[in-house]
């Protein structure tokens, strides 16, 4: 009888050891960006007092410029031209942990840059646009500042 209990006890011990040594089936945690507080919507004004909206999301550990919306004005001989853009559903990776620079491909000079000040949680940058969208046209550059909404 004692042998029977001893065998059962030994089988239970080996069973517990085998179970505790198995590999974990847990999936590894998804990497997060270095500055997750930058994700979200940022809104501010350009140097021409027009609204600018910047949205930031992430793909794993990489922050992305998801959306940017702006409107800038070009004035020549009393005539004003307004160029607006609303680029949404983008996946434009940041250049560094807290900066981005992107040329939207409309022309060589059509671009947007941004730098996040982590201490003040403010975003500043420049928007450049050719008027009209042809090489050699005048280039308008505006600056902007934005805060997180």
Q: Where are the domains positioned within the chain?
A: 36-148
Q: pLDDT of 76-106, one tens digit each?
A: 766 667 778 888 888 899 999 999 999 876 6
Spatial separation of the C-alpha atoms in residues 35 and 116, rounded to whole Å: 10
**Residues 6+ away with beta carbon under 8 Å from 60:** 30, 31, 32
pTM of the predicted model, to two decimals?
Answer: 0.74
Nearest CA among 48, 53, 49, 84 for reference residue 68: 53
Q: Which fold has domain 36-148?
A: Lipocalin (2.40.128)
143 sits in which H/E element:
strand 139-148
């Amino acid at each position: 009888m004692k042998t029977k209990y001893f065998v059962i006890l030994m089988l239970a011990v080996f069973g517990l050891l085998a179970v505790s040594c198995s590999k974990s089936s847990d999936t590894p945690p998804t990497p997060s960006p270095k500055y997750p507080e930058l994700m979200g919507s940022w809104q501010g004004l350009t140097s021409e007092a027009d609204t600018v909206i910047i949205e930031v999301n992430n793909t794993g550990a990489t922050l992305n410029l998801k959306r940017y919306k702006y409107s800038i004005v070009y004035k020549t001989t009393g005539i004003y031209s307004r160029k607006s853009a609303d680029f949404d559903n983008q996946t434009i990776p940041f250049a560094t942990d807290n900066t981005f620079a992107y040329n939207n491909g409309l022309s060589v000079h059509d671009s947007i840059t941004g730098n996040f000040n982590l201490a003040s949680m403010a975003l500043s940058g420049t928007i450049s646009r050719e008027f009209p969208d042809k090489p050699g046209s005048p280039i308008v550059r505006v600056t902007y500042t934005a805060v997180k909404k």
